[in-house]
Chain A
Amino acid sequence: MSVVALPDRAARPEPGQRSRRWPVVSISIIVVFVLVALLAPLLSPADPYEQSLRLRFRPPVWEERGSWANPLGTDRLGRDMLSRILWGSRVSLAAGVVTVLIASAFGAAIGLVAGYYGGRVDATLMRVTDATLSFPVILLALILAVTVGPSFTNVVIAIAVILWARYARVIRGQVLTLMQLDFIAQARIAGAGAWRVITRHLLPNTLNTLVVLVTLQIGYVIIVEASLSFLGAGIPPPTPAWGSMIAEGRDVITIAWWVSFFPGLVILLVVLAFNLLGDWLRDTLDPKLRQL
């Protein structure tokens, strides 16, 4: 009998096998996050705007002086932390989704056009893209906040105006590779015009990349929105936003750690969940995209 030892394939999962299992944790966090944002009015135990100076800086329930009336404590104005965090998820989700949708649609369109036409069109669009990428988001948002005043719309505009460039660059790169393939030439020879080639042949072949990029970018946008709110250039008070809640607790961190801690924790969890999901999607859909 042969004594050649074959590697036991059943015992050792193939490389990458593990990453193909559903990322249960990330997905559950995201599902909870979305549900909370949608159902915040039903879920929150108290009015997030209701102030009560008697109840300021109540600690979370497990500390001394804590009570079930405010499970995560209260802030400087005696507002219920839990309710404010639940309501704050609406700002983060809306900012993340709306911004990324606008940026990806516009960026993908630019990338498709640049890659398809090539030449001068490509050169021009890519110079604009490079210029855009070199402009800091935070600075633009601060300028907008100072000149027009801080608002949700301005946050979305400030981020989207810069974020599209990443989509444009990645999609254009993909289109350049696709354009070398025969099916594009074949489509053009069959009489397909620019619109048809772009929408029927190029766009569907870049969807995988777009999905990965969108997922990763939602996490990024949530961070940027929180940073802007933290700096006061984002969602104006008293609307509960996680970034501004962290900022409010900054001065009292030594005596009331929970005011900053809990908003920071949820930002961490949500962004981590989106990043892990994005990584998983990338590995599953298109392993060639490691650099994203």
Chain B
Amino acid sequence: MSAVIDVRDLRTHIVTRWGTIKAVDGVSFALGEGETLGLVGESGSGKSMTCLSIVRLVPRPAARVVGGEVLLDGDDVLRKSDAEMQRIRGRKVAMILQDPMSSLNPVFSVGMQLREPLTMYHGLRGSAVAARAVELLAAVRIPSPAARLRAFPHQLSGGMRQRVVGAMAIAGPPRLLIADEPTTSLDLTIQAQYLGLLKELQQRHRFAMIFVTHNLGIVARTCDRVAVMYAGRIVETGPVRRIFTAPAHPYTRALLESIPRFGVRRARLTAIAGQPPDLATLGAGCAFAPRCPSAFDRCVEAPPETDVAPGHATRCWLHGA
């Protein structure tokens, strides 16, 4: 199976007054059709930057993709011209962002906003657009879609709006859907519904999906594979089941210990000691070493990526040669 998206050694730097921050530092992963990758990590670990680098919309001029390849169906998007890139966005890669309150334009009705990608991508006109817009709203399970076309964003609930955003995202339909914490600001019950909807859309359109979250529960439910990011690097990647049952990296283990689990009695949830590192002053060694309970003298050098099992790799000296 050929990969829909193949990211190789992606590097994105942000230039600040305090020095250059390696926000994305050699990230690699690949996803096939219909596959979902869960990208997890603390705030500032580079998850969102990785996603923005893929669509080449990192906040300029401070941030810049400085190296690597992003192969979308075998084509490197980092080498495309701006005009070509504009045609790729939306048509081949779509993205759903976190905040449903501001992700729709407040001055236009839902219908007008849905029509925009349809006319832009498919050149549809007149009644064909309206019909397709209704189809899209129905596809994201919005009741009485024809009537909703006339609604304005402020008349819809957060969950509804996020569905509309979803409808716009699949207008392509895309080959890759990036969902950047799409359910963080939704109610728990709505979250579950929305995740179900995304899986359903994925089964229908067979797109690859990158799911950014810091909720490991969601990862367990929706993803095939997981990539754990820390300080701009993927420290561990593998199939969901492996990561949950046999985490190899101390950081992954710490993350798993910090979530409450039903039915498991524990006196306290364990917090990870210390603070996330300051990326501007990061040394050459393992970035997690200062907070790591099992750190030892080799950790001052950067650990290479090591295979623990087939498809399961980590960057940690505990598993190194």
Complex-state Cα separation, A181 to B101, whole angstroms:
9
**Could you tell me the distance between the alpha carbons of A201 and B105 in the complex, rounded to whole angstroms?**
7
Contact between B86 and A186, CB atoms less than 8 A apart: no
A residues whose Cβ falls under 8 Å from a Cβ of B? 119-120, 181-183, 185-193, 196, 200-201, 204-205, 207
Residues in chain B near residue A182, CB distance under 8 A: 97-99, 102-103
Residues of B within 8 A of A119 (CB): 60-61
User: Could you list some 9 contacts between A and B, CB below 8 A?
Assistant: A183-B103, A183-B104, A186-B103, A186-B165, A189-B89, A190-B169, A192-B116, A204-B105, A205-B105
Collect the chain B residues with CB atoms within 8 Å of residue A196's CB. Answer: 120
Residues of A within 8 A of B88 (CB): 191
- The contact string, 1 if C-beta is below 8 Å from chain A, for chain B 83-108, is 00011111101110111001111111
Contacts of B120 in A (CB 8 A): 190-192, 196
Q: Closest residue of chain A to B165, judged by CB?
A: A186
Task: Please give me the 7 A-B residue pairs with the lowest Cβ-Cβ distance, nearest first.
Answer: A191-B90, A190-B90, A191-B89, A182-B103, A181-B102, A189-B95, A182-B102
Q: Which residues of A contact B98 (CB under 8 A)?
A: 182
Which of chain A's residues has its CB closest to B153's CB? A183
A-B contacts besides A186-B103, A186-B165, A186-B168, 20 pairs, CB < 8 Å: A119-B61, A120-B61, A183-B106, A185-B57, A185-B97, A186-B104, A187-B105, A189-B57, A189-B90, A190-B90, A190-B117, A191-B86, A191-B88, A191-B89, A192-B116, A192-B120, A200-B105, A201-B105, A204-B105, A205-B105
Identify whether the interface residues of A are mostly helix, strand, loop, or mixed: helix
CB contacts under 8 Å to A, within B175-203, are none
Q: CB-CB contacts of B252-276 with A at 8 A, as 1s and 0s? A: 0000000000000000000000000
In angstroms, Cα B117 to Cα A70, docked, is: 66
Chain B residue with Cβ nearest A201:
B105
Count of A-B residue pairs with CB < 8 Å: 65
Residues on A with beta carbons closer than 8 Å to the beta carbon of B106? 183, 205
Give the Cβ gap from B211 to chain A, nearest Cβ, in Å. Answer: 16
Measured CB to CB, the closest approach of chain A to B47, in angstroms, equals 15
Contact B91 A191 (CB under 8 A): yes
User: In chain B, what residue has the closest Cβ to A208?
Assistant: B107
Contacts of A187 in B (CB 8 A): 105
In the complex, what residues of A have CB within 8 A of residue B60's CB? Answer: 119
State how many angstroms separate the Cβ of A45 from the closest Cβ of chain B.
Answer: 48
A190 touches B97 (CB 8 A): no
Closest to B97 in A: A182
Q: Is the CB of B95 within 8 A of A186?
A: yes
B153 to nearest A CB, angstroms? 9
Cα–Cα distance between A190 and B105 once the two chains are bound (Å): 13
Closest B residue to A188 by beta carbon equals: B57
In the assembled complex, how far is the CB of residue B54 from the closest CB belonging to chain A, in whole angstroms? 10
Which chain B residue shows the least CB distance to A191?
A: B90
Chain A residues closer than 8 Å to B121, beta-carbon distance: 191
Q: Which of B152-178 contact A (CB under 8 A)?
A: 165, 168-169
Complex CA gap A187/B86 in Å reads 11
| Known contacts A185-B57, A185-B97; A190 and B168 CB within 8 A of each other | yes
Query: A119 to chain B: closest CB distance in Å?
Result: 5
A-side contacts of B117, CB under 8 Å? 190-191
**In the complex, what residue of chain B is closest to A181 when comparing beta carbons?**
B102
Question: Within the complex, what minimum Cβ distance (angstroms) separates B110 from chain A?
Answer: 12
Closest residue on chain B to residue A200 by CB atoms: B116
The CA-CA distance from A205 to B57 in the complex, in Å, is 22
Q: Please report the C-alpha to C-alpha distance between residue A181 and residue B168 in the assembled complex, in whole angstroms.
A: 17
Q: In whole Å, how far is B27's beta carbon from the nearest beta carbon of chain A?
A: 19
- With both chains docked as a complex, state the minimum distance between the C-beta of B5 and any C-beta of chain A, in angstroms: 15
Whether the Cβ atoms of A205 and B104 lie closer than 8 Å is no
Which residues of the other chain, B, contact A192 by a CB distance below 8 angstroms? 86, 90, 116, 120
Q: How far is the CA of A189 from the CA of B98 in the complex (A)?
A: 14
Q: Is B229 an interface residue (CB 8 A)?
A: no
Which chain B positions have C-beta within 8 A of A207? 107
Q: Is residue B55 within 8 Å, beta carbon to beta carbon, of the partner chain?
A: yes
